[in-house]
């Protein structure tokens, strides 16, 4: 309880809010993708026709009218703009880590915010200019901002005891929070007279406001004194770093990556990330294009998945402490509930036609994602127990694995699924279901609650360089 009193809850909440705003910026595109066809580019290959039945009340007759529409981008092109975002995240992981080690938390975090803002400002202009390759570059650049997770989670480790079971829920909560708020707000803005451009500019304004509060939040007496000594700008960015705890953490890279069970955790996390991105990234497209709901209804159906994930994740870690079984069996149980339930519903979705079973398909798609949150008491708990004091490093690894899963899931969607062809979506669901079942079977047999040797105190690894006689300055990880 004494430790809890000293946890700066408001600062943690503010950092989570900042991270959610950064994550929501690339997510805006996923909500506006259904509105892109409103902009013409006079490309014959992008025209499509729809038959509209019009009724004449005066003559009391009806007739079929063929309406010709044109997409701005083809469906594979639009969905490829989702796929490439994760490429930027993976590429930026090392540079952002280096920036954090050398510039501190506040400067690296604010830098990621600017990386997120710049592409969002130019993306609508790029779309109007009909430059697809430039749009790809902007989306990759925007994905780089998601690497803000690295300074974010490192900062949280200063205040939160990382051996607590709720830590994975806290550090990954931003992704669920942003999905809950982004889809309905963006869909209403895009469908209004403001147009889909307003959603991107609105996200930029939100980031600016939140990060302005973030920068100013530490303007206390100590800050004023430091600003008078070293200058306002230097104090604004360096003050937070001087108050952060520094780490003397020597990581046995070789032993970690030679541990087979760590790769089991990575593979299970990859399967979990693929399933999660299927619901989060392509929920609006599936509900609108395939099932036939309106854009607004599709947005509200999409946010049910992150809400249920937050509820089930909190419930699972609570029940985890109440069950009397061994740690190993509890992890097996919760991971099987998460992966098994999702896999079963996804597999069943492959055999229902949304034309005749519109609401059954909608409910099953939502239920498929409802218990994925139980994975926090499954493979993510095993990662925590096995890594011990190196849990922070493994969480960053899992974040990179999830970014790779984002790319793989998006790539499968581009290659397999077609917007209005449910048979191709059913194939995609079955592929994900099989992937989840295989990952859970592997986790079930290799699950372990034992602390790894490389995570025990006093362990020495050949990949760790010996200390220098004159040690270099230690920066926060």
Does residue 471 carry a pLDDT above 60? no
- Which is higher by pLDDT, 51 or 277? 277
| Parent domain of 28 | 1-37+66-247
**Adjacent-strand bridge partners of 66:** 51
Question: ∠ at Cα 27 (417, 353), nearest 5°?
Answer: 30
* Stretch 184-191: mean pLDDT: 85
At which of 213, 230, 247 does a domain end?
247
What pLDDT was estimated at residue 224?
63
Residues 173 and 322 in one domain: no
Quick check: is 58 in a domain? no
Residues 118 and 239 in one domain: yes
Quick check: is 59 in a domain? no
pLDDT digits (tens, 9 = 90+) for 276-312: 988 888 888 888 878 888 888 888 998 998 999 999 9
Residues 70 and 192 in one domain: yes
Quick check: is 467 in a domain? no
Residues 237 and 259 in one domain: no
Residues 147 and 14 in one domain: yes
Distance CA 13, CA 4 (A): 15
Banded model confidence at residue 339, pLDDT cuts 50, 70, 90 = very high
Distance CA 199, CA 194 (A): 9
Quick check: is 464 in a domain? no
Residues 184 and 284 in one domain: no
Q: Which of 348-352, 381-385, 421-425 has the highest mean pLDDT?
A: 381-385
Q: C-alpha dihedral over 18, 23, 27, 28, to 10 degrees?
A: 30
Quick check: is 42 in a domain? no
Banded model confidence at residue 271, pLDDT cuts 50, 70, 90 = very high
At which of 186, 218, 247 does a domain end?
247
pLDDT digits (tens, 9 = 90+) for 3-34: 444 667 888 888 899 999 999 888 888 777 76
Quick check: is 4 in a domain? yes
State phi, psi for 70 to the nearest 5 degrees. -140, 130
pLDDT digits (tens, 9 = 90+) for 126-147: 776 667 788 888 889 888 999 9
* Stretch 36-42: mean pLDDT: 45
Distance CA 192, CA 458 (A): 62
pLDDT digits (tens, 9 = 90+) for 423-457: 778 888 888 999 999 999 999 999 988 998 888 87
Residues 202 and 299 in one domain: no
> What's the distance, Cα to Cα, between the start and end of the chain in Å?
27
What pLDDT was estimated at residue 462?
64
Q: What is the pTM of this model?
A: 0.82
At which of 222, 247, 272 does a domain end?
247
What pLDDT was estimated at residue 267?
95
Residues 353 and 238 in one domain: no
Residues 14 and 96 in one domain: yes
User: Environment class of residue 331 by beta-carbon count within 10 Å: exposed (0-12), middle (13-18) or buried (19+)?
Assistant: buried
Quick check: is 46 in a domain? no
Quick check: is 289 in a domain? yes
Residues 360 and 406 in one domain: yes
The alpha carbons of the chain give a radius of gyration, in whole angstroms, of 24
Residues 241 and 345 in one domain: no
Residues 390 and 423 in one domain: yes
pLDDT digits (tens, 9 = 90+) for 237-266: 555 555 554 444 577 888 888 899 999 999
- Average pLDDT, whole number, for the chain? 80
Chain centroid to CA 200: 18
Q: Tokens 């519903």 appear where?
A: 345
Q: What is the CATH number of the domain that holds 323?
A: 1.20.1250.20
- Which is higher by pLDDT, 221 or 164? 164
Portion of the chain with pLDDT greater than 70, in percent:
79
* Stretch 305-323: mean pLDDT: 90
Q: How many domains does the chain have?
A: 2
- Which is higher by pLDDT, 43 or 453? 453
Torsional sign, CA 158, 160, 163, 165: negative
Lowest mean pLDDT segment, chosen from 63-72, 79-88, 184-193, 409-418? 63-72
């Amino acid at each position: 309880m004494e430790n809890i009193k000293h946890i700066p809850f408001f600062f943690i909440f503010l950092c989570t809010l900042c991270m959610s705003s950064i994550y929501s910026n690339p997510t805006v595109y996923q909500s506006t993708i259904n509105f892109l066809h409103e902009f013409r580019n006079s490309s014959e290959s992008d025209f499509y026709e729809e038959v509209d039945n019009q009724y004449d009340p005066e003559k009391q007759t009806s007739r079929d009218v063929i309406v010709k529409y044109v997409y701005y981008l083809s469906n594979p092109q639009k969905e490829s703009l989702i796929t490439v975002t994760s490429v930027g995240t993976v590429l930026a992981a090392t540079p952002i880590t280096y920036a954090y080690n050398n510039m501190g938390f506040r400067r690296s975090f604010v830098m990621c915010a600017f990386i997120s803002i710049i592409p969002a400002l130019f993306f609508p202009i790029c779309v109007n200019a009909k430059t697809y390759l430039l749009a790809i570059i902007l989306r990759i650049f925007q994905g780089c901002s998601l690497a803000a997770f690295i300074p974010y989670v490192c900062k949280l480790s200063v205040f939160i005891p990382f051996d607590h079971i709720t830590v994975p829920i806290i550090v990954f909560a931003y992704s669920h929070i942003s999905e809950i708020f982004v889809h309905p707000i963006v869909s209403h803005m895009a469908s209004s007279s403001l147009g889909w451009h307003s959603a991107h500019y609105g996200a930029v304004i939100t980031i600016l406001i939140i990060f302005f509060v973030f920068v100013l939040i530490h303007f206390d007496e100590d800050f004023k004194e430091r600003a008078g000594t070293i200058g306002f700008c230097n104090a604004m960015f360096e003050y937070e770093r001087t108050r952060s705890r520094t780490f003397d953490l020597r990581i046995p890279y070789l032993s970690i990556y030679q541990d087979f069970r760590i790769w089991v955790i990575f593979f299970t996390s990859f399967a979990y990330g693929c399933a999660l991105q299927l619901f989060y990234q392509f929920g609006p497209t599936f509900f609108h294009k395939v099932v036939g709901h309106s854009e607004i209804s599709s947005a509200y159906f999409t946010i049910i998945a992150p809400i249920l994930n937050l509820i089930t994740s909190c419930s699972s870690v609570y029940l985890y402490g109440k069950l009397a079984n061994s740690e190993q069996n509890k992890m097996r149980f919760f991971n099987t509930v998460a992966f098994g339930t999702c896999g079963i519903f996804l597999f069943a979705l492959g055999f229902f036609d949304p034309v005749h079973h519109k609401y059954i398909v909608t409910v099953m798609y939502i239920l498929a994602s409802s218990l994925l949150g139980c994975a926090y008491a499954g493979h993510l708990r095993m990662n925590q127990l096995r890594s011990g004091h190196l849990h922070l490093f493994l969480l960053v690894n899992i974040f990179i694995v999830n970014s790779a899963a984002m790319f793989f899931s998006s790539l499968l969607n581009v290659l397999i699924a077609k917007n209005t062809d449910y048979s191709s979506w059913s194939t995609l669901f079955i592929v994900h279901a099989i992937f989840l079942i295989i990952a859970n079977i592997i986790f079930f047999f290799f699950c372990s609650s034992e602390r790894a040797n490389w995570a025990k105190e006093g362990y020495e690894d050949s990949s760790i360089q010996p200390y220098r006689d004159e040690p270099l300055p230690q920066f926060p990880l």
